A and B are shown apart, each in its own frame.
Chain A
Amino acid sequence: MREAWDVGMGGKVVIQALNLTKLYGEVLAVDHISFEVERGEVFGFLGPNGAGKTTTIRMLTGLSKPTEGEASVLGFDISSEIVEAKRRIGVVPEISNLYDELSAIDNLLFMAQLYGVPRSERRRRAEELLKIFGLYERRDSFFRTFSRGMKRALTIAAALIHNPELLFLDEPTAGLDIVAARSLRNLISNLRQQGITIFLTTHYLEEADLLCDRVAILVKGKILKIDSPKALKELTNSCSLEDAFIKITGLSPTIMAIEKERKV
């Protein structure tokens, strides 16, 4: 583990997990995983369905308690100081779960109220995000009237309303068409350029190759490898991250294709 000065709000390491484990009844969803995420990087969690990607995000964001192990997010212990961590993180869950009955701007304003954004800044910040995400013209439309891609974009905007240092993105492009997915990937790249650390789960390997500085390959709750996509390709003598993934995990390409189909 790193020295204390290196971990936390001003430190280089923003997420530190040590032997993080989650047991649901008799099912071991996450099995003693340890990893670190550094400030400013896009860190990808790759794996098929049921690998433990979402469970890990849920533990790191306080939605689920680890059965064993420990972790800190921005220097705050997830077991005892999770509220402090929550002030500084944004989370985009796999499902776009904003409120159908509220307009785009009202959804953002509600999130701003919940996160304690000062009253004088709320509207300005909400309108700024709507412009960045190309939704300003639809600011008064109800969330239920949005396309899947627009819903996804607004959900990301909602996670950014309080200027988080760290953004968790759970399968951000799952179920989106090619154009919406590409536009969202561009947005993620822009966020990274703004200095936001991104923790991303995905099973789209080409997406991870394009966006991530480092990836962790997760199968059945265990991390098999952590490295940059380039290093993983070199290590396995592969021309794509998908090939490298298949070589590392031993999963057949057919299974991967089925996983993709399921998500769509």
Chain B
Amino acid sequence: MWRDNLRGIYYIALKDMRTYYLKPPSISWGIIFPTAWILAFYLRNPVGFEELVPGLIAMTILFSTTAAEAVVINFELRLGSLERLLLAPISLSSVLLGKVFGGAVFGLIMAAVVTIGSIVGLGLSPNVPYLILVIIPSSLAFSSLGALLCVSVREVFEAQTLLNLPRFIMIFLCGVVRPVSAMPTILQYLAYTMPLTYTVDGLQHSFSTTSSTMVFIDTLVLTGFFIIFIFPAIKLLSKKFE
């Protein structure tokens, strides 16, 4: 049974990559939006741009994974093709995990483009294993957050609208716009309940190679967020098909 489920996860993720990565909502929210944001920051302040790199990579992962989830889940919910996957001899959890991995890979590809671009373009020398330790669980956490919100609505535009609320709250509180330590105490508490804060923190440590402990803690917390988001997402999807 577990072999069937693993096979299902793999082929669903693969099919989603082939089918949905070039859909307009994936391109606009997952590629154009982060690119425009990066360019805006660069043009505003080319000299201090290096400091913004971790935040921009984090934001790229957030937007690309969640945008991909809205497409891979809501297109199929609307067209009924998600039901086709649920008719296969695999568990409902595997179907959703396939969708989450498909979105996470899109996030990884986008993050790799921005990271490599920053390293080559700006001559940065981050700790690559640390980067991997942060980027992979971040992609999974944001992808599962996307799945959780997307399964509760039907249309892609509804999903994108719903996703914008946590996206923008996280961007303003994650430490990119203003360091978390400089925020009022209540906002600091709020910031530490959000996964993007740990992605930014982990990436900042990866670029400064100061503390491996902090990177490991961020990795663990982000993995925890992935688990926290995926279970209710599975529950919600299963409720839809009761």
Residue ranges of A at the interface with B (Cβ–Cβ < 8 Å): 61-65, 83-84, 86-87, 91, 93, 95, 97-102, 110-111, 113-116
B157: shortest Cβ distance to chain A, in Å?
19
CA distance A99 to B20 in the complex (A): 10
A116 in contact with B89 given A83-B1, A97-B84 (CB within 8 Å):
yes
B78 CB → nearest A CB, Å:
10
Bound Cα distance A111, B89 (Å): 11
Docked complex Cα distance between A102 and B19 (Å)? 7
How would you classify the secondary structure of chain A's contact residues: helix, strand, loop or mixed? loop
Tell me whether A99 and B81 are in contact in the complex, defined as CB-CB below 8 angstroms, given that A64-B241, A83-B1 are known contacts: yes
- Residues from chain B with a CB closer than 8 A to the CB of A98 are 81, 84
B49 on the A face (CB < 8 A)? no
Question: How far apart sit A29 and B81, CA to CA, in the bound complex (Å)?
Answer: 23
The distance in angstroms between the C-alpha atoms of A101 and B20, with both chains bound, is 8
Q: Which positions 78-112 of chain B face chain A at CB distance < 8 Å?
A: 79-81, 83-91
B18 at the interface (CB under 8 A from A): yes
- Residue contact A97 to B18, C-beta cutoff 8 Å: no
**Which interface class (under 10, 10 to 19, 20 to 34, 35 or more) fits B?**
20 to 34
- Complex alpha-carbon distance, A115 and B1, angstroms: 12
A98 to B88, CA, bound (A): 13
- Tell me, in angstroms, the Cα distance from A100 to B7 when the chains sit together: 23
Across the A-B interface, give the 10 residue pairs with the lowest CB-CB distance, nearest first. Answer: A86-B89, A97-B80, A87-B89, A113-B11, A101-B19, A114-B88, A97-B81, A95-B80, A91-B87, A83-B89
Say whether B81 contacts A115, CB under 8 Å: no
B7 shortest CB reach to chain A, Å: 6
Assembly CA distance A95 to B80 (angstroms): 8
Residues of B within 8 A of A97 (CB): 79-81, 83-84
The answer to whether A86 and B84 have CB atoms under 8 Å apart is no
**Docked complex Cα distance between A116 and B90 (Å):** 10
Contacts of A115 in B (CB 8 A): 88-89
Complex contact B19–A116 (CB within 8 A): no
Cα A102 to Cα B242 with chains together (Å): 29
Which of A83, A91, A93, A99 is within 8 Å of B19, CB to CB?
A: A99
Q: Which B1-35 residues have C-beta < 8 A from chain A?
A: 1, 4, 7-8, 11-12, 15, 18-20
Closest CB-CB distance, A123 to chain B, in whole Å? Answer: 15
Chain B positions within 8 Å of A102 at CB level: 15, 18-19
Which residues from B are CB-within-8-Å of A93?
A: 80, 83-84
